[in-house]
Amino acid sequence: MARGWCVFLMTILLLSSCNAEQPDTASLTIAAAADLMPAFNEIGPLFTAQTGIPVVFNFGSTGQLAQQIERGAPVDLFYAANRSFIEDLAAQQIVDPSSLTVYAQGRITIWTRTDSGLRPQQMSDLIDPAYQRIAIANPEHAPYGQAAREALERSGIWAEVQDRLVFGENVAQTLTFADTGNVEVAIVALSLSVQSNGYWVLIPTELHPDHPLIQAAGIVRSSRYPAAARQFMEFVNGPQGRPVMEKYGFVLPATSQTP
C-alpha cells in the first residue's frame, strides 16, 4: 500500500514538473468586423510568419461581436467597424481604454452581379422595379447596415424600397445574398467589393455623415496575451499591414489614432 502511494506521489510530482516546464505560448483570438475578412486573411499569415504567434479570427457583425465580448467570450482583441462599439466597451472597462486605436475608415458600394445586366449608377436608381430585392446588413447591429440605411434615407428612397429590403446578419452575408442571385443588388463594403467578381459603384460619404464608418480596435482586458495583441495592432498599422489594408480600399489615418 505504501509503495502504491509512493508511485502515485512520484507520478504527480513528475506531471507537475512537466507542466511547469511547458511554455505558455501566445496565440491570439481576434473578433473582427466582417468587412475585414479579405484583408485580415492576408495579414494574419504575414503576422504569424514574422512573430511566430498564431492568430484565429472570428468574423461577424460588430454589434453581435460586441455582445459576445460583453458576455465573456474568450477574445484578445476586437476590431470593430464603428468606433462607438469600442468606446462603449472601454467605458465598461471590458476593453482597455489605453489601447483604443482608429485604424481605418470604410466605404460602402452598390453591388450587382456582372451577369445580371443591372448597372446602377446612384442610389436613386434602386427605385427601379428591376431591383426586386435589395440586401443590406442588418442596421440593428451592423455598422455597414446603418450606413446603408442612412444613405437610402438621405437619397429620399427609403420609403419606396423598404418593403424590398433583405437583411444580412453581417456585410459579408449581405454580399453573398447578391452573389448567389438571391437578391438583385446589395449595399456592401468596398473592402469586399474590390475582391469580388461583381460590378460596383462607390456611394458618396456625404450620404451617410452620421455613420462615417470610422473603424477602431482595442485590447480586451481579460486577454492573457495583451503584449501579443498590441504587436498585432502595430503590425496592422505598420509597413506590412497598411499596404494590404489600402489594397482593399480602406482609408487609413496618417498614423494610428486614439478615438
Whether 228 and 240 map to the same domain: the answer is yes
- What's the pLDDT tens digit per position in 114-154? 999 999 999 999 999 999 999 999 999 999 999 999 999 99
- Encode 61-80 in three state secondary structure: CHHHHHHHHHCCCCCCEEEC
Same domain, 117 and 71: no
The residues of the chain scoring below 70 in pLDDT are: 1-24, 255-259
**Could you tell me if residue 150 is inside a domain?**
yes
Determine the pLDDT at residue 60.
Answer: 98
Please give the tally of structural domains in the chain: 2
Together in a domain, 98 and 217: yes
Distances from the Cα of 94 to the Cαs of 73, 77, 110, 221, in angstroms?
11, 11, 35, 6
**Same domain (yes/no): 39, 91:** yes
With respect to residue 256, please indicate whether it lies within any of the assigned structural domains.
no
Res 26: pLDDT: 86
Q: Are residues 83 and 42 in the same domain?
A: yes
| Residue whose C-alpha cell is 468587412 | 35
Binding residues for molybdate: 62, 171
Annotated binding site: 62, 171
Residue 140 falls within a domain, yes or no? yes
| Joined grid coordinates for residue 206 | 456625404
Residue 258 resides in a domain: no
Q: What is the pLDDT of residue 254?
A: 79
Domain that holds residue 228: 28-105+213-247
pLDDT of 259 reads 54
Angle subtended at Cα 246 by Cα 245 and Cα 252, rounded to the nearest 5 degrees: 85
Domain CATH code at residue 64: 3.40.190.10
- One domain, residues 54 and 74: yes
Domain assignment of residue 20, yes or no: no
φ, ψ dihedrals at 224, nearest 5°: -80, -15
Residues 158 and 93 placed together within one structural domain of the fold: no
CA distance 150 to 140: 12
| Predicted pLDDT at 17 | 37
